[in-house]
Amino acid sequence: MTNSTMPAERLLDLENVQVHFPMREGLVKAVNGVSYHVNKGEVLGIVGESGSGKSITARAIMRLLPKRAVDAGGTIRFRPRDGEEIELSALSRNSRAIRQVRGNHIGMIFQEPMTALSPVHTIGTQIMRTIQLHKGLSRSAARERAIDLLAKVRLPRPAELVDAYPHQLSGGMRQRAMIALAISCDPSLLIADEPTTALDVTTEAQILDLLKQLQAELGMAIIFITHNFGVVADIADRVSVMYLGRILETASVDDIFYAPKHPYTQALLRSIPRLGVDQGRRLPTIPGMVPDPFSVPQGCEFHPRCSHARAGLCDVKAPPERRFGSQMSRCHIADQFVQEPVHV
Amino acid sequence: MSDLSAGAATLPDDVLISVRNLKKYFPIQAGWLRRKVGDVKAIDDVSLDIRKGETMGLVGESGSGKSTVARLMLRAYSLTGGSILFRQSDGSVIDVSNLTDRQMRSLRREMQMIFQDPYSSLNPRMNLLELVGEPLVIHGVGTQAEIRDRVAELLEVVGLRPEFLNRYPHAFSGGQRQRIGIARALALNPSFIAADEAVSALDVSVAAQNINLLQDLQEKFGLTYLFITHDLGMVEHIADRVGVMYLGRLLEVAPTEQLFSKPLHPYTEALMAAVPQPDPRGNRTRKRVPLKGEIANAANPPAGCAFHPRCPYAQPRCSAEVPALRAVEGGRQVRCHFAEELSLAGAVA
């Protein structure tokens, strides 16, 4: 246990978390010094392109890293709503302590519900097992709670669907069933890893609506991982932007969208087509592509693609975290560069 | 092949391809004898004109039949009913729907497709020369040396280095693979390209690069696109006109600006309201009532209007009578009994 205690409102605290993958071609620093925190009851959005490390960081919290991943340092501390502070980074993948946290204090939902739900057990059985394990309820009480949960996630005919297998449900209904499973033990934190990416827009809107309602009702915090800026604008209170295993900017959702202080955030936002803006014109793009993880650029990892990069500074020295009130930007010139209007 | 019905078919001068009363039913088979017990009406009575040089957007949720329309146009599936008229490069109009496979093959020079998944649509055992050159080989265009030159040129056109000729798809990122697919589609100088979710699998910065490439190519080669997507922001950006599909039917067709500022079909309104915008303040003030329920089963569609069980404006007539796709003012088409009476909210002021 570290000596410093977390502030009272703090639920989760990541400090300099590192996850490496030793590969034949070299060492991949998939998560390269990530620090963020989640307060009780808030929604933290994590956005980034594929390979930026957003999912691996979430897996590090759950201690569910792939077998070949190396936990290369950093601390992850978690204090459930009612309970002692736990240093998650000190727990091993299969320890009794982490199994008490998973499913009980921290729930997780994924992009593809079929990867999380067992195809050979009914929805009801899977929820009941979790409740029986963590809450010590009897079979019949657990079944009743499972039906309640299915009603809570607004599945139609919950008393019937409790005996359904996942394959009998549509994609949106499966996602609801997985949410019911994740919130079955009333967790303090829900980690949602691209939960709406595979869904149609009208179903996505329903699921986002449901998550917002459950969050308000149960007072749980959510880490919402997505690559969709529209979704993050809709659900998040604060947002962290990741690139190549690092967080480049963290700010309130309004600051991220209307006053970003990192060139990468600005450039990403400009490259999304917006309704009613610039129809038919070419989109401003970020030159080049994400470098391969074996040859991460020196200095600021974004400098080769950055239109503001300064020779002799950005290509030499890694930028420190610079703070502007509650906004953090990992950019040398965060306070200097002229803020071009992102939202035209 | 021009002896086949070419004389009878006519198209307005500015139209490149015209789909009329298109139908595609997939049989439902059951039992030991695989008897046919019903039909999935994947496409039911779709009519659509695509003009020369325009980008026609086609939006809809999964299962709405938007990809099936494209596949029918290129005759990857056989039609259950309807016709597809296509203006060839020599100006003659041909009915694609009753061509034999052999006749169709030569027409595919002019009609090509780009697919969503750049991973499964490229053969991992073929290098770029073989992949991009394959259409040329199949159509017997040029000698080996000529094909090599043409492939190098095509790679340059899509922004890949010509020296990549001997590399295999695994060496490329998703965005680059998508460009390989585009080069392959361009190999035979087509006039029409159906792009099926061509940028949906890509990260935002890569999607923007590839969208710009598609627009550049359109200008350079005078291409006509059918752009299929579920991303309304993307379709508003790239399309000249947009068709909205639901459960195998076309519910609305309109010029992009008009569709987004003043939708005429309740489903279009609901679709636009559902998409979260990258604008937190706007999302907070926008009234968003999520659509109830899910898309109906295409094997057992609702009576009357296919959308009526989910429609907030539905009236008794909607469950009794199938609305026709009818022309309304401004060159728009809509399949709703009450289009003129409703005042629907668009996504753009």
A342 vs B71: CA distance, rounded Å: 39
Put simply, whether B164 touches A (Cβ < 8 Å) is no
Put simply, whether B230 touches A (Cβ < 8 Å) is yes
B275 interaction partners in chain A (CB closer than 8 Å): 201, 205, 230
Put simply, whether A269 touches B (Cβ < 8 Å) is yes
Token output for B125: 């055992």
Check A231 against B232: CB less than 8 A apart: no
At position A233, the amino acid (one-letter code) is A
Residue A324 neighbours by CB under 8 Å, 6+ apart:
A261, A334, A335
A275 interaction partners in chain B (CB closer than 8 Å): 232-233, 236, 260, 277, 347-348
Interface of B with A in 83-142 (CB under 8 A): none
CA pseudo-torsion sign A185, A191, A197, A201: positive
Minimum CA–CA partner of A169 in chain B: B294
Check A283 against B257: CB less than 8 A apart: no
Check A285 against B276: CB less than 8 A apart: no
What percent of chain B is predicted at pLDDT more than 90? 66
B349 interaction partners in chain A (CB closer than 8 Å): 276
Interface of A with B in 20-39 (CB under 8 A): none
Cβ atoms within 10 Å, residue A317 = 12
pLDDT at residue A1, as a whole number: 46
pLDDT at residue A280, as a whole number: 67
* Residues paired with residue A48 on neighbouring β-strands, in sequence order: A242
Return the ∠ at Cα A310 (arms to A304 and A315), rounded to 5°: 50
To the nearest whole angstrom, how far is the Cα of A166 from the nearest Cα of chain B? Answer: 17
Q: What residues does each domain of chain B span?
A: 15-29+36-239, 262-348
Give B185-218 pLDDT, tens digit per residue: 999 999 999 999 988 888 888 899 999 999 999 9
pLDDT-wise least confident of A196-200, A267-271, B85-89, B246-250 = A196-200
pLDDT at residue B31, as a whole number: 82
Put simply, whether B214 touches A (Cβ < 8 Å) is no
- What is the CATH code for B15-29+36-239? 3.40.50.300
Check B283 against A233: CB less than 8 A apart: yes
Q: Evaluate whether B213 touches B179 at the Cβ level (below 8 Å).
A: yes
ipTM: 0.85
pLDDT at residue A4, as a whole number: 63
Check B274 against A201: CB less than 8 A apart: yes
Minimum CA–CA partner of B293 in chain A: A203
Per-residue pLDDT tens, chain A, 344 aa: give them: 445 678 889 999 999 999 999 988 889 999 999 999 999 999 999 999 888 999 999 999 999 999 999 999 999 999 988 788 999 999 999 999 999 999 899 999 988 888 789 999 999 999 999 999 999 999 999 999 999 999 999 898 999 999 999 999 988 899 999 999 999 999 999 999 999 888 888 889 999 999 999 999 999 999 999 999 999 999 999 999 999 999 999 999 999 999 999 999 999 999 998 887 766 678 999 988 888 888 889 999 999 999 999 999 999 999 999 999 999 999 999 887 655 555 44
pTM of the model: 0.89
pLDDT at residue A341, as a whole number: 52
Q: Is the pLDDT of residue B182 over 60?
A: yes
Q: Is the pLDDT of residue B5 over 60?
A: no
Check A205 against B288: CB less than 8 A apart: yes
Put simply, whether A233 touches B (Cβ < 8 Å) is yes
Q: Evaluate whether A27 touches A20 at the Cβ level (below 8 Å).
A: yes
To the nearest whole angstrom, how far is the Cα of A284 from the nearest Cα of chain B? Answer: 8
Please report, to the nearest 10 degrees, the dihedral formed by the alpha carbons of residues B60, A239, A329, A15 taken in order.
Answer: -130
B277 interaction partners in chain A (CB closer than 8 Å): 230, 233-234, 274-275
pLDDT at residue B7, as a whole number: 47
Put simply, whether A206 touches B (Cβ < 8 Å) is yes
B260 alpha carbon, distance to own chain's centre: 19
pLDDT at residue A337, as a whole number: 60
Mean pLDDT value of segment B83-91 = 93
To the nearest whole angstrom, how far is the Cα of B247 from the nearest Cα of chain A? Answer: 13
A44 vs B68: CA distance, rounded Å: 39
Put simply, whether B276 touches A (Cβ < 8 Å) is yes
Q: Evaluate whether B60 touches B246 at the Cβ level (below 8 Å).
A: yes
B184 vs B190: CA distance, rounded Å: 11
Closest of A184, A215, A185 to residue A44, by C-alpha = A215
B206 interaction partners in chain A (CB closer than 8 Å): 49, 289
Question: E strands along B88-153, which residues?
Answer: 93-95, 111-114
Give B153-175 pLDDT, tens digit per residue: 999 999 999 989 999 999 888 88
